[in-house]
Structures are given as structure tokens and as C-alpha cells.
């Protein structure tokens, strides 16, 4: 597991906070923080939600 820099960039470019992302994924902000910082992994369904939200592919976000 590693820090997800691409997801961080997508989030910052859209002026979103981690709290906003947690609401989109319907998880707690603490859980989102842990996942974005690479201490836990996103589920496939969470990854798909994020890719759809940002209008990109899973590979763009996590590849």
C-alpha cells in the first residue's frame, strides 16, 4: 500500500476536502484519510464511485 498521490491531485483540483470525499463514498472522514494515505485500500466499489465522480478510469486514479 502507498500514498495515493493521483487521487490527492484529483481531489485538490476539484477543490474538495477529505470530508467531502468521505460523504461521496458514504464512509467516515477518518476512514477516507486512512485510505488516501495508503494505510488501507479502497474497495472496488469505492474505486468505481471515485472514477465515475471524477470522470476517469480506475487506472487513472490507482494505476
Say what the pLDDT of residue 1 is.
57
Say what the pLDDT of residue 62 is.
87
* Residues 4-63: tens digit of each pLDDT: 899 999 999 999 999 999 999 999 999 999 999 999 999 999 999 999 999 999 999 988
- Rounded Cα gap, residues 63 and 44, in angstroms: 13
Band (pLDDT 50/70/90 cuts) for residue 3 is confident
| pLDDT greater than 90 at residue 2 | no
What are the cell numbers at 54? 471524477
Taking the mean position of all CA atoms in its chain, how far away is CA 52?
11
Cβ neighbours of 18 (radius 10 Å): 17
Backbone angles phi, psi at 37, to 5 degrees: -90, 10
Amino acid at each position: 500500500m502507498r500514498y495515493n498521490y493521483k487521487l490527492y491531485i484529483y481531489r485538490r483540483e476539484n477543490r474538495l476536502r477529505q470530508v467531502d470525499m468521505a460523504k461521496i463514498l458514504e464512509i467516515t472522514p477518518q476512514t477516507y484519510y486512512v485510505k488516501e494515505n495508503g494505510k488501507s485500500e479502497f474497495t472496488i466499489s469505492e474505486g468505481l464511485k471515485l472514477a465515475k465522480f471524477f470522470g476517469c478510469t480506475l487506472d487513472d486514479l490507482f494505476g
